[in-house]
Amino acid sequence: MSTPGEEMGNAGNPLSPPVPRRRFVEVLLGSGFLATAIAFLYPVLRYLVPPKASDLGSDAVVAGHVGELKPNSGKIFRFGNRPGLLIRTASGEYRAISAICTHLTCTVQYRDDLREVWCACHNGKYDLNGRNISGPPPRPLEAFEVQVRGDAIFVRRRREA
């Protein structure tokens, strides 16, 4: 049978502080286990976050070639790993905008009958500058810069002023 004095470890010794031995061991073990758990959980949590996909060539891409698009038509091109929409207006001018709808990120398309950009998912509509004009989209589509150099139609992101 243990007496309360024994339970308190070396409490009876006036030279040592009255720390119960069991408590001391518990704290030591507990903090050791905690440190181990953190040391194993931290790498796992970092591992779970996928590395950033490289956004290759997203600064400027060749979206198409002259003569590829009739007036009053549009096509989807790859802008890095996202879709962009290249439009040739009825007057023959080129426009490029992001093709990701600002509502719920569906890919939009050019409607030659409406002469508007249209999202099939929830009937969102944008004008040819990417401004949201009807339906649920909350923001305009990002507009890109278009340059025709020789045969190629280059699209680049607008520099922030």
Partner 1 sequence: MSPLRNLRDWLDQRLGWDDLIAPLRKKSVPLHKLSYWYFLGGITLFLFVIQVLTGILLLLYYRPGANEAFESVQYIMTQVKFGWLIRSIHSWSANLMIFTAFAHMFSVLFLKAYRKPRELTWVSGVILLFLVMGFGFSGYLLPWNTLAFFATKVGTEIAAQVPIIGKPIMIFLRGGEEVTGATLTRFFGFHVAVLPGLATLLILLHLVLVQRLGISIPPKLEAQWTANPSAKCEMKFFPNFMLRELMAWYVALGVLGALAAIFPWNLGVKADAFAPAPAGIKPEWYFLFMFQTLKLIPPRVWFMDGEVLGVLAFGLVGLLWLLLPFFESDQPSPTKRWITGLAVFALAYVAGMSVYGHLAK
| CB closer to partner 1 out of 24 and 33 | 33
Looking at 32-40, 99-107, 115-123, 141-149, which segment touches partner 1 (CB under 8 A)? 32-40
Could you tell me if 90 and 105 are in contact, meaning their C-beta atoms sit under 8 angstroms apart? no
Cα–Cα distance list, 145 to 18, 21, 53, 109 (Å): 76, 73, 24, 19
Per CB under 8 A, contacts with partner 1 among 64-123 are none
Instruction: Spell out, one character per residue from 33 to 72, where the chain touches partner 1: x when CB under 8 A holds, - when not.
Output: x--x--xx--xx-xxxxxx---------------------
Please work out the total of residues on this chain that contact partner 1, with binding judged by CB under 8 A: 12
Both tokens of 132, joined, read 């949201």
As measured in angstroms, the least distance from the Cβ of 44 to partner 1 is 7
For the chain, the distance separating the N- and C-terminal CA atoms, rounded to the nearest angstrom, is 82
| CB closer to partner 1 out of 15 and 44 | 44
Q: What is the DSSP string of 98-137?
A: E-B-TTT-PBPEEETTTTEEEETTTTEEE-TT--EEESS-
| CB closer to partner 1 out of 46 and 158 | 46
As measured in angstroms, the least distance from the Cβ of 66 to partner 1 is 36
Q: What residues have CB less than 8 Å from 150, skipping those under 6 apart?
A: none
Task: Give the footprint of partner 1 on this chain (CB under 8 A).
Answer: 33, 36, 39-40, 43-44, 46-51
